Amino acid sequence: MNTEFLAGSKAKVTFDVTPEQFENALNAAFEQEVKNVSIPGFRKGHISRAQFEKHFGVESLYNTALDVLFNGFYQEILANKELAHRVISQPMPGVESKIERGTAFKVSLSFDVYPEPELPAYKGLEVAKKNTTVTDEEVNESINSLLKAQGKLNEKAEQVIAKGDTANFDFEGSVDGKVFDGGSAKGYEMEIGSGQFIPGFEDQMIGMKAGETKDVNVTFPTPYAAKELEGKAAVFKVTVNSVKEMTTPELNDEFVASLKRENISTVEELKASTRKNLEESKEESEKNRQIDDLVNQILDNTKVELPESLVNSYVESYKSRYVEQAKAYNIPLETLLQLSGTDMATFEETAKNNGQRQALFQVVLDKVVRDEKLEPSTEEFDAKLVEIATATKQKKEEVARTRGQQIYGQLIYEKFINLVVSSAKEI
Protein backbone atom coordinates (compact mmCIF):
# COMPACT_ATOMS: atom_id res chain seq x y z
CA MET A 1 0.00 0.00 0.00
CA ASN A 2 1.55 3.27 -1.16
CA THR A 3 -0.10 6.57 -0.10
CA GLU A 4 0.31 9.88 -1.93
CA PHE A 5 -1.16 13.15 -0.66
CA LEU A 6 -2.03 15.34 -3.64
CA ALA A 7 -3.03 18.95 -4.18
CA GLY A 8 -6.57 19.96 -3.33
CA SER A 9 -6.78 17.83 -0.15
CA LYS A 10 -6.80 14.57 -2.04
CA ALA A 11 -5.07 11.26 -1.42
CA LYS A 12 -4.32 8.31 -3.67
CA VAL A 13 -3.51 4.88 -2.27
CA THR A 14 -2.02 2.38 -4.70
CA PHE A 15 -2.10 -1.39 -4.14
CA ASP A 16 -0.17 -4.24 -5.79
CA VAL A 17 -2.48 -7.10 -6.77
CA THR A 18 -0.73 -10.47 -6.91
CA PRO A 19 -1.91 -13.24 -9.29
CA GLU A 20 -3.07 -15.21 -6.24
CA GLN A 21 -5.12 -12.28 -4.88
CA PHE A 22 -6.76 -11.77 -8.27
CA GLU A 23 -7.55 -15.46 -8.57
CA ASN A 24 -9.22 -15.43 -5.14
CA ALA A 25 -11.21 -12.35 -6.20
CA LEU A 26 -12.27 -14.14 -9.41
CA ASN A 27 -13.49 -17.08 -7.32
CA ALA A 28 -15.53 -14.73 -5.12
CA ALA A 29 -16.85 -12.98 -8.23
CA PHE A 30 -17.96 -16.29 -9.75
CA GLU A 31 -19.87 -17.21 -6.56
CA GLN A 32 -21.76 -13.90 -6.85
CA GLU A 33 -22.40 -13.93 -10.60
CA VAL A 34 -23.38 -17.58 -11.03
CA LYS A 35 -26.50 -17.08 -8.89
CA ASN A 36 -28.06 -15.00 -11.65
CA VAL A 37 -26.90 -17.01 -14.67
CA SER A 38 -28.80 -19.64 -16.60
CA ILE A 39 -27.90 -21.53 -19.77
CA PRO A 40 -29.88 -24.11 -21.72
CA GLY A 41 -29.96 -27.49 -19.99
CA PHE A 42 -29.06 -26.19 -16.53
CA ARG A 43 -31.08 -24.75 -13.70
CA LYS A 44 -30.45 -21.08 -12.88
CA GLY A 45 -27.36 -20.76 -10.71
CA HIS A 46 -26.27 -24.37 -11.23
CA ILE A 47 -23.39 -24.34 -13.69
CA SER A 48 -19.74 -25.09 -13.10
CA ARG A 49 -16.92 -22.56 -13.27
CA ALA A 50 -15.63 -24.18 -16.47
CA GLN A 51 -19.06 -23.98 -18.10
CA PHE A 52 -19.38 -20.34 -17.03
CA GLU A 53 -16.04 -19.35 -18.52
CA LYS A 54 -16.76 -21.31 -21.70
CA HIS A 55 -19.99 -19.42 -22.30
CA PHE A 56 -19.09 -15.96 -20.99
CA GLY A 57 -15.31 -15.82 -20.75
CA VAL A 58 -13.30 -15.18 -17.57
CA GLU A 59 -13.14 -11.49 -18.48
CA SER A 60 -16.86 -11.20 -17.65
CA LEU A 61 -15.85 -11.67 -14.00
CA TYR A 62 -13.23 -8.91 -13.98
CA ASN A 63 -15.47 -6.01 -12.90
CA THR A 64 -16.98 -7.94 -10.00
CA ALA A 65 -13.54 -9.25 -9.01
CA LEU A 66 -12.22 -5.69 -8.96
CA ASP A 67 -15.12 -4.69 -6.70
CA VAL A 68 -14.13 -7.49 -4.33
CA LEU A 69 -10.53 -6.26 -4.34
CA PHE A 70 -11.49 -2.60 -3.87
CA ASN A 71 -13.76 -3.45 -0.93
CA GLY A 72 -10.94 -5.36 0.72
CA PHE A 73 -8.39 -2.60 0.09
CA TYR A 74 -10.76 0.02 1.46
CA GLN A 75 -11.01 -1.96 4.69
CA GLU A 76 -7.21 -1.86 4.85
CA ILE A 77 -7.35 1.94 4.62
CA LEU A 78 -9.95 2.12 7.38
CA ALA A 79 -7.78 -0.14 9.55
CA ASN A 80 -4.85 2.28 9.17
CA LYS A 81 -5.22 4.69 12.13
CA GLU A 82 -2.98 7.33 10.57
CA LEU A 83 -5.07 7.43 7.41
CA ALA A 84 -8.61 6.39 8.32
CA HIS A 85 -9.53 9.50 10.31
CA ARG A 86 -8.59 11.75 7.39
CA VAL A 87 -10.90 10.08 4.85
CA ILE A 88 -13.77 12.38 3.82
CA SER A 89 -15.33 11.15 0.59
CA GLN A 90 -16.17 7.71 -0.76
CA PRO A 91 -13.12 6.34 -2.61
CA MET A 92 -12.93 6.40 -6.39
CA PRO A 93 -11.36 3.20 -7.76
CA GLY A 94 -8.76 3.22 -10.47
CA VAL A 95 -6.77 0.63 -12.44
CA GLU A 96 -3.14 1.65 -12.81
CA SER A 97 -1.90 -1.11 -15.12
CA LYS A 98 -3.24 -3.70 -17.54
CA ILE A 99 -5.30 -6.48 -15.98
CA GLU A 100 -4.23 -9.90 -17.08
CA ARG A 101 -4.91 -13.22 -15.37
CA GLY A 102 -1.74 -14.72 -13.90
CA THR A 103 0.10 -11.38 -13.91
CA ALA A 104 0.53 -8.82 -11.10
CA PHE A 105 -1.06 -5.41 -11.64
CA LYS A 106 -1.79 -2.21 -9.74
CA VAL A 107 -5.05 -0.58 -8.63
CA SER A 108 -5.75 2.57 -6.64
CA LEU A 109 -8.32 4.26 -4.45
CA SER A 110 -8.55 8.06 -4.48
CA PHE A 111 -10.53 10.19 -2.05
CA ASP A 112 -10.69 13.60 -0.39
CA VAL A 113 -8.95 13.94 2.95
CA TYR A 114 -9.03 16.44 5.76
CA PRO A 115 -6.53 19.15 4.84
CA GLU A 116 -3.77 20.40 7.10
CA PRO A 117 -5.00 23.84 8.17
CA GLU A 118 -2.76 26.63 9.37
CA LEU A 119 -4.21 27.22 12.81
CA PRO A 120 -3.99 30.40 14.87
CA ALA A 121 -3.32 30.23 18.60
CA TYR A 122 -6.24 28.41 20.22
CA LYS A 123 -5.02 28.47 23.83
CA GLY A 124 -4.96 31.55 26.02
CA LEU A 125 -7.50 33.46 23.93
CA GLU A 126 -9.26 36.47 25.44
CA VAL A 127 -12.99 36.47 26.00
CA ALA A 128 -15.41 38.90 27.67
CA LYS A 129 -16.37 38.01 31.24
CA LYS A 130 -19.72 36.41 31.95
CA ASN A 131 -22.49 38.79 32.94
CA THR A 132 -25.03 36.83 34.97
CA THR A 133 -26.55 39.75 36.87
CA VAL A 134 -30.34 39.61 37.00
CA THR A 135 -32.12 42.94 37.55
CA ASP A 136 -35.40 43.53 39.40
CA GLU A 137 -36.86 44.64 36.07
CA GLU A 138 -36.05 41.28 34.48
CA VAL A 139 -37.65 39.44 37.41
CA ASN A 140 -40.78 41.58 37.07
CA GLU A 141 -40.92 41.04 33.28
CA SER A 142 -40.74 37.29 33.78
CA ILE A 143 -43.51 37.33 36.37
CA ASN A 144 -45.63 39.61 34.17
CA SER A 145 -45.22 37.07 31.36
CA LEU A 146 -46.43 34.39 33.75
CA LEU A 147 -49.45 36.50 34.68
CA LYS A 148 -50.17 37.09 30.99
CA ALA A 149 -49.96 33.36 30.28
CA GLN A 150 -52.58 32.81 32.99
CA GLY A 151 -54.72 35.70 31.70
CA LYS A 152 -57.76 35.76 29.44
CA LEU A 153 -58.63 37.75 26.32
CA ASN A 154 -61.99 39.46 26.59
CA GLU A 155 -63.92 41.68 24.22
CA LYS A 156 -62.99 45.28 25.01
CA ALA A 157 -65.88 47.46 26.12
CA GLU A 158 -64.61 50.41 24.11
CA GLN A 159 -63.63 48.86 20.79
CA VAL A 160 -60.63 51.16 20.35
CA ILE A 161 -57.12 49.73 19.87
CA ALA A 162 -54.48 50.52 22.50
CA LYS A 163 -50.96 49.12 22.68
CA GLY A 164 -51.11 45.61 24.09
CA ASP A 165 -54.64 44.93 22.84
CA THR A 166 -55.33 42.06 20.44
CA ALA A 167 -57.00 43.14 17.20
CA ASN A 168 -58.79 41.02 14.64
CA PHE A 169 -58.50 42.68 11.26
CA ASP A 170 -58.46 42.30 7.47
CA PHE A 171 -55.68 43.78 5.37
CA GLU A 172 -54.64 44.10 1.73
CA GLY A 173 -51.18 45.39 0.78
CA SER A 174 -50.19 47.05 -2.47
CA VAL A 175 -47.04 48.53 -3.99
CA ASP A 176 -47.42 51.15 -6.73
CA GLY A 177 -51.16 50.43 -6.71
CA LYS A 178 -50.72 46.68 -7.36
CA VAL A 179 -51.64 44.03 -4.77
CA PHE A 180 -48.65 41.72 -4.09
CA ASP A 181 -48.59 38.02 -3.21
CA GLY A 182 -48.70 37.22 0.49
CA GLY A 183 -49.80 40.75 1.42
CA SER A 184 -53.46 40.07 2.15
CA ALA A 185 -55.44 38.25 4.86
CA LYS A 186 -58.84 38.21 6.48
CA GLY A 187 -59.56 37.70 10.17
CA TYR A 188 -55.89 38.09 11.10
CA GLU A 189 -55.39 38.32 14.87
CA MET A 190 -52.39 39.96 16.50
CA GLU A 191 -51.29 41.70 19.67
CA ILE A 192 -50.64 45.32 18.73
CA GLY A 193 -47.12 46.29 19.72
CA SER A 194 -45.71 42.75 19.48
CA GLY A 195 -43.57 43.73 16.51
CA GLN A 196 -44.84 41.01 14.16
CA PHE A 197 -45.41 43.35 11.22
CA ILE A 198 -43.25 45.85 9.32
CA PRO A 199 -42.00 48.72 11.53
CA GLY A 200 -44.67 51.43 11.78
CA PHE A 201 -47.59 49.19 10.81
CA GLU A 202 -48.81 48.40 14.31
CA ASP A 203 -48.22 51.94 15.63
CA GLN A 204 -50.57 53.32 13.00
CA MET A 205 -53.32 50.90 14.11
CA ILE A 206 -53.37 52.33 17.64
CA GLY A 207 -56.56 54.38 18.06
CA MET A 208 -58.49 52.60 15.31
CA LYS A 209 -62.03 51.44 16.15
CA ALA A 210 -63.86 48.24 15.29
CA GLY A 211 -65.49 48.69 11.89
CA GLU A 212 -63.03 51.40 10.84
CA THR A 213 -61.03 51.16 7.61
CA LYS A 214 -57.74 53.01 7.19
CA ASP A 215 -54.73 53.11 4.85
CA VAL A 216 -51.51 52.25 6.69
CA ASN A 217 -48.41 53.55 4.91
CA VAL A 218 -45.12 51.73 5.51
CA THR A 219 -41.78 51.09 3.83
CA PHE A 220 -40.36 47.57 3.61
CA PRO A 221 -37.00 47.32 5.39
CA THR A 222 -33.69 46.44 3.77
CA PRO A 223 -32.79 43.63 3.80
CA TYR A 224 -36.13 41.82 3.56
CA ALA A 225 -36.96 38.16 2.91
CA ALA A 226 -38.89 38.96 -0.26
CA LYS A 227 -36.16 40.68 -2.27
CA GLU A 228 -38.62 42.27 -4.71
CA LEU A 229 -40.16 44.26 -1.83
CA GLU A 230 -36.94 45.54 -0.24
CA GLY A 231 -37.10 49.30 0.41
CA LYS A 232 -40.46 49.64 -1.38
CA ALA A 233 -43.21 51.97 -0.09
CA ALA A 234 -46.44 50.07 0.49
CA VAL A 235 -50.03 50.87 1.40
CA PHE A 236 -52.10 48.43 3.48
CA LYS A 237 -55.84 48.85 3.52
CA VAL A 238 -56.75 47.77 7.07
CA THR A 239 -60.25 47.06 8.41
CA VAL A 240 -60.62 46.37 12.14
CA ASN A 241 -63.15 43.65 12.98
CA SER A 242 -62.89 43.50 16.77
CA VAL A 243 -60.65 44.43 19.69
CA LYS A 244 -59.82 42.34 22.76
CA GLU A 245 -57.89 43.20 25.91
CA MET A 246 -55.93 40.98 28.25
CA THR A 247 -57.19 40.54 31.80
CA THR A 248 -54.46 39.14 34.04
CA PRO A 249 -54.70 37.74 37.59
CA GLU A 250 -53.65 39.89 40.51
CA LEU A 251 -50.18 39.04 41.80
CA ASN A 252 -50.79 37.89 45.37
CA ASP A 253 -50.12 34.90 47.60
CA GLU A 254 -53.42 33.30 46.57
CA PHE A 255 -52.43 33.38 42.90
CA VAL A 256 -48.95 31.97 43.67
CA ALA A 257 -50.47 29.14 45.71
CA SER A 258 -52.77 28.30 42.76
CA LEU A 259 -49.69 27.56 40.63
CA LYS A 260 -48.97 24.58 42.91
CA ARG A 261 -45.22 24.86 42.64
CA GLU A 262 -43.17 22.93 45.19
CA ASN A 263 -41.96 25.10 48.10
CA ILE A 264 -43.38 28.27 46.47
CA SER A 265 -46.54 29.68 48.01
CA THR A 266 -45.90 33.42 48.43
CA VAL A 267 -45.09 36.32 46.10
CA GLU A 268 -41.65 36.70 47.66
CA GLU A 269 -40.87 33.02 47.18
CA LEU A 270 -42.01 33.28 43.54
CA LYS A 271 -39.73 36.27 42.98
CA ALA A 272 -36.78 34.47 44.58
CA SER A 273 -37.38 31.35 42.51
CA THR A 274 -37.76 33.41 39.33
CA ARG A 275 -34.50 35.24 40.03
CA LYS A 276 -32.67 31.94 40.60
CA ASN A 277 -34.02 30.47 37.36
CA LEU A 278 -33.04 33.59 35.42
CA GLU A 279 -29.52 33.48 36.91
CA GLU A 280 -29.13 29.84 35.91
CA SER A 281 -30.40 30.61 32.43
CA LYS A 282 -28.00 33.54 32.08
CA GLU A 283 -25.11 31.41 33.31
CA GLU A 284 -25.81 28.85 30.58
CA SER A 285 -26.36 31.56 27.97
CA GLU A 286 -23.11 33.32 28.88
CA LYS A 287 -21.22 30.03 28.85
CA ASN A 288 -22.47 29.37 25.32
CA ARG A 289 -21.62 32.94 24.29
CA GLN A 290 -18.05 32.48 25.45
CA ILE A 291 -17.77 29.17 23.59
CA ASP A 292 -19.15 30.72 20.38
CA ASP A 293 -16.82 33.72 20.71
CA LEU A 294 -13.71 31.58 21.26
CA VAL A 295 -14.55 29.11 18.47
CA ASN A 296 -15.28 31.95 16.04
CA GLN A 297 -11.93 33.56 16.87
CA ILE A 298 -10.21 30.31 15.89
CA LEU A 299 -12.25 29.74 12.74
CA ASP A 300 -11.95 33.34 11.54
CA ASN A 301 -8.16 33.16 11.73
CA THR A 302 -7.64 29.67 10.29
CA LYS A 303 -6.09 29.41 6.83
CA VAL A 304 -7.13 26.39 4.79
CA GLU A 305 -8.56 25.33 1.43
CA LEU A 306 -11.69 23.34 2.18
CA PRO A 307 -12.45 20.19 0.16
CA GLU A 308 -15.57 20.74 -1.92
CA SER A 309 -16.96 17.33 -1.00
CA LEU A 310 -16.80 18.14 2.72
CA VAL A 311 -18.56 21.48 2.26
CA ASN A 312 -21.22 19.88 0.05
CA SER A 313 -21.94 17.18 2.61
CA TYR A 314 -22.82 19.81 5.20
CA VAL A 315 -24.78 21.87 2.67
CA GLU A 316 -26.90 18.85 1.77
CA SER A 317 -27.37 17.97 5.44
CA TYR A 318 -28.63 21.49 6.14
CA LYS A 319 -31.04 21.40 3.20
CA SER A 320 -32.35 17.93 4.01
CA ARG A 321 -33.60 19.07 7.41
CA TYR A 322 -35.87 21.61 5.75
CA VAL A 323 -36.93 19.19 3.03
CA GLU A 324 -37.98 16.63 5.66
CA GLN A 325 -39.79 19.31 7.64
CA ALA A 326 -41.71 20.36 4.54
CA LYS A 327 -42.65 16.72 3.92
CA ALA A 328 -43.86 16.40 7.51
CA TYR A 329 -46.18 19.37 6.98
CA ASN A 330 -47.10 18.06 3.53
CA ILE A 331 -46.25 21.39 1.89
CA PRO A 332 -43.72 22.38 -0.81
CA LEU A 333 -40.31 23.52 0.40
CA GLU A 334 -40.91 26.94 -1.15
CA THR A 335 -44.04 27.38 0.97
CA LEU A 336 -42.21 26.41 4.15
CA LEU A 337 -39.50 28.94 3.36
CA GLN A 338 -42.08 31.65 2.68
CA LEU A 339 -43.75 30.93 6.04
CA SER A 340 -40.31 31.21 7.66
CA GLY A 341 -39.84 34.63 6.11
CA THR A 342 -37.28 33.70 3.45
CA ASP A 343 -37.05 32.62 -0.20
CA MET A 344 -35.20 29.96 -2.16
CA ALA A 345 -32.27 32.18 -3.17
CA THR A 346 -31.65 33.24 0.42
CA PHE A 347 -32.07 29.63 1.58
CA GLU A 348 -29.45 28.43 -0.92
CA GLU A 349 -27.02 31.14 0.19
CA THR A 350 -27.60 30.34 3.86
CA ALA A 351 -27.07 26.62 3.22
CA LYS A 352 -23.80 27.35 1.42
CA ASN A 353 -22.50 29.62 4.19
CA ASN A 354 -23.57 27.14 6.86
CA GLY A 355 -21.87 24.28 5.01
CA GLN A 356 -18.60 26.19 4.71
CA ARG A 357 -18.63 27.10 8.40
CA GLN A 358 -19.44 23.55 9.51
CA ALA A 359 -16.74 22.12 7.25
CA LEU A 360 -14.20 24.63 8.56
CA PHE A 361 -15.04 23.73 12.15
CA GLN A 362 -14.67 20.02 11.40
CA VAL A 363 -11.26 20.56 9.79
CA VAL A 364 -10.08 22.63 12.77
CA LEU A 365 -11.45 20.09 15.23
CA ASP A 366 -9.70 17.23 13.40
CA LYS A 367 -6.36 19.06 13.48
CA VAL A 368 -6.55 20.05 17.16
CA VAL A 369 -7.66 16.56 18.20
CA ARG A 370 -4.66 15.04 16.42
CA ASP A 371 -2.16 17.61 17.70
CA GLU A 372 -3.41 17.51 21.29
CA LYS A 373 -4.21 13.79 21.30
CA LEU A 374 -7.76 14.42 22.53
CA GLU A 375 -9.25 11.09 21.49
CA PRO A 376 -11.35 9.62 24.34
CA SER A 377 -9.86 6.63 26.11
CA THR A 378 -11.64 3.27 26.06
CA GLU A 379 -12.51 3.82 29.73
CA GLU A 380 -14.06 7.24 29.03
CA PHE A 381 -16.07 5.90 26.13
CA ASP A 382 -17.33 2.90 28.13
CA ALA A 383 -18.26 5.12 31.08
CA LYS A 384 -20.36 7.34 28.80
CA LEU A 385 -22.06 4.29 27.27
CA VAL A 386 -22.95 3.01 30.76
CA GLU A 387 -24.23 6.46 31.80
CA ILE A 388 -26.54 6.73 28.79
CA ALA A 389 -27.61 3.08 28.99
CA THR A 390 -28.59 3.56 32.64
CA ALA A 391 -30.49 6.77 31.91
CA THR A 392 -32.38 5.27 28.96
CA LYS A 393 -32.77 1.78 30.47
CA GLN A 394 -31.00 0.13 27.56
CA LYS A 395 -28.18 -2.33 27.31
CA LYS A 396 -24.73 -0.81 26.88
CA GLU A 397 -24.20 -2.87 23.71
CA GLU A 398 -27.40 -1.47 22.18
CA VAL A 399 -26.35 2.11 22.94
CA ALA A 400 -22.93 1.41 21.40
CA ARG A 401 -24.53 -0.03 18.26
CA THR A 402 -27.08 2.71 17.68
CA ARG A 403 -25.31 5.79 19.04
CA GLY A 404 -21.66 4.83 19.45
CA GLN A 405 -20.29 7.08 16.71
CA GLN A 406 -22.39 10.05 17.86
CA ILE A 407 -21.29 9.60 21.49
CA TYR A 408 -17.62 9.30 20.51
CA GLY A 409 -17.89 12.51 18.47
CA GLN A 410 -19.57 14.33 21.36
CA LEU A 411 -16.76 13.32 23.73
CA ILE A 412 -14.19 14.67 21.27
CA TYR A 413 -16.13 17.93 20.94
CA GLU A 414 -16.35 18.33 24.72
CA LYS A 415 -12.60 17.76 25.09
CA PHE A 416 -11.88 20.37 22.42
CA ILE A 417 -14.20 22.95 24.01
CA ASN A 418 -12.78 22.29 27.47
CA LEU A 419 -9.25 22.78 26.15
CA VAL A 420 -10.11 26.12 24.56
CA VAL A 421 -12.33 27.46 27.36
CA SER A 422 -10.19 26.35 30.31
CA SER A 423 -7.15 28.12 28.87
CA ALA A 424 -9.00 31.32 27.91
CA LYS A 425 -8.52 34.61 29.75
CA GLU A 426 -11.58 36.62 30.76
CA ILE A 427 -11.30 40.36 30.19
Query: Domain residue spans in the chain?
Result: 2-112, 152-247, 267-426
**235 pLDDT above the threshold of 70:** yes
- Which range is least confidently modeled, 284-288, 305-309, 315-319? 305-309
Annotation: CATH topology of 2-112: Alpha-Beta Plaits (3.30.70)
How does the average pLDDT of the chain come out, rounded? 93
What is the percentage of the chain residues whose pLDDT exceeds 70? 99
Mean pLDDT of 370-376: 93
**227 pLDDT above the threshold of 90:** no
> Can you give the pLDDT at residue 278?
98
> Can you give the pLDDT at residue 339?
80
CATH classification (class only), 267-426: mainly alpha
Task: Calculate Rg over the CA atoms of the chain.
Answer: 33
**121 pLDDT above the threshold of 70:** yes
pLDDT in tens, 62-96: 999 999 999 999 999 999 877 887 888 889 999 99
**225 pLDDT above the threshold of 80:** no
**181 pLDDT above the threshold of 90:** no
Annotation: CATH topology of 152-247: Chitinase A; domain 3 (3.10.50)
Mean pLDDT of 197-202: 94
Residue type, 12: K
Question: What is the rounded distance in angstroms from the CA atom of residue 341 to the CA atom of residue 345?
Answer: 12
pLDDT in tens, 284-306: 999 999 999 999 999 999 999 99
> Can you give the pLDDT at residue 198?
92
Mean pLDDT of 337-351: 89
**41 pLDDT above the threshold of 90:** no
Mean pLDDT of 297-318: 95
**243 pLDDT above the threshold of 90:** yes
Cβ-based neighbours of 328, under 8 Å, separated by 6 or more? none
> Can you give the pLDDT at residue 378?
93
What is the percentage of the chain residues whose pLDDT exceeds 90? 82
Confidence category of residue 249, pLDDT binned at 50, 70, 90: very high
